Amino acid sequence: MTTKLGNFVNGATVAGTGDTLEVTNPANQEVLATIPYATAAEIDAAVAAAGDAQREWREVPTPERARLMFKYQELLKANHDDIARILSLETGKTFDDAKGDVWRGIEVVEHACNVSSMLMGETVENVARRIDTYSVIQPLGVCAGITPFNFPAMIPLWMFPLAVACGNGFVLKPSEQDPMTPMRLAELFSEAGAPDGILQVIHGGKDQVDALLTHRDIKAVSFVGSVPVAKYIYQTAAQNLKRVQALAGAKNHMVIMPDANKDQAISSLVGASCGAAGQRCMAISACILVGEAREWVDDIAEAMAAVRPGVWDDEDAGYGPQITQAAKDRIVGFIERGDEEGARLVLDGRDCTVDGYPDGNWVGPTLFADVTPEMSIYREEIFGPVLVSSGVETLSDAIDLINQNPYGNGVSIFTSSGGAARTFQHEIEVGQVGINVPIPVPLPFFSFTGWKDSFFGDLHTYGKQAVRFYTETKTVTARWLDEMAPATANMTIRLQ
């Protein structure tokens, strides 16, 4: 049965009046739901309602806002598996992958429960005689989030819980490819006690995104997606005087030193490159084998060949399908290009099939060796279960190669040498570094800190930086005259 979704406005699902789009299961192309594209009038109404709710919400004491987050994380945990099932159906993720998606979002909600201490200002007494200066942290107003298909639970939960906990209203525009999960998150947020209107969810494509980027009452925009779109989001929103954080693509490397634990390194590499069908911005898509580790290519291929895709409830499946046929076609095009450019195609996943699901968007694990930086499969983000590998003589060569790459999202090194690890973490020009950890996504009390072309903006998502992103700092300088103190010249303000 096909579900008819609406926009989520003022705490309830409202049928839209615009054109509709079908949401399909990528494993079999079954139509799961339809969504309405929000009209300009519906977007204006959603933003206005969020603004009305925010003006009251900002006056709610921060401990009460924190209690909302405590209740919300409790509901998310109680409904964890049900959310994961919805997520699996519309993304194709395996159930374990889907549960991880939900859980990493819950961790950010738990972080938002600590909002009171994160909103503390600073005070200095007697900056001049009998004059004190202190700062207070206040919300921006109405903020917007534009989220991608690959993590429909985690990434919305990176955004609106912290924004709302800081006292803002929020308008979420989730991916039109898997909107069922974000809608369920919104329903649970309302059930937890969130005021009607403080979170609005509107559906659509580029026109709806543009409406948010240019809307006069939107103060800040958070985005996660590909590099070209992230640049567009950043430029358009900034030109319209919005505060922006735009998380973009990546070409994440894993460096394997010859002294690494071979089994651990290869197992981690395979999971990090094929997990979630390679559809994550922190996936390892490039491997650099140093010194004698260059002889490990066949072992990597053997381990990758043992991984197979499948449907969400197949407990033996390593990952699911690509989100759309177009995404699959793009990956296949990269594999063909890499072969034409002279890379050695060690493992070819183009002809992958899954029994009983002939219409699924399947791509098998794929491995290229002898890849050079000039090749398109090295330069561009493929966003699939495709791993490219290169060999170098020394750690210094590996560092130089990675630092020349325009992306800087994540990187890891596998080694048993503390000196090599210390040199690597210090010299590498990448924002998130793993040492014997393949995907170094930080927990929410840190921030997600991509560099270079992997991030456009000044303040990163979640952690302390996100609190700064969603708030303004007001500085107050005060003097209270004491009736018992003489009004002498030495009380003159001297702040120069």
Q: What is the C-alpha to C-alpha distance for residues 105 and 84, in angstroms, rounded to an integer?
A: 12
Strand runs (DSSP E) across 304-431, as ranges? Answer: 344-347, 366-369, 386-392, 407-408, 410-414
Q: What is the C-alpha to C-alpha distance for residues 477 and 138, in angstroms, rounded to an integer?
A: 16
Residue 119, CA atoms < 13 Å, CB-side half-sphere: 26
Q: Catalytic residue at 166?
A: no
**Cα–Cα distances in angstroms (integers) from residue 438 to residues 17, 186, 211, 407, in the given order:** 46, 32, 38, 17
- What's CA 276's distance to the chain center, in Å? 14
Strand runs (DSSP E) across 25-150, as ranges? Answer: 31-36, 123-128, 131-139, 142-146
Q: To which H or E segment does residue 209 belong?
A: helix 206-214
In the chain, what's the furthest Cα-to-Cα distance? 91
Q: What is the C-alpha to C-alpha distance for residues 254 and 389, in angstroms, rounded to an integer?
A: 9
Q: Are 34 and 22 within 8 A, CB to CB?
A: yes
Catalytic residue among 113, 143, 281, 287: 281
Taking alpha carbons only, the member of 299, 300, 303, 287 closest to residue 392 is: 287
What the block records as the tokens of 214 is: 């240019």
At 132, give phi and psi (nearest 5°): -115, 150
Burial 139-151 (b: 16+ CB within 10 A, else e): bbbbbbbbbbbbb
- What residues act catalytically? 281
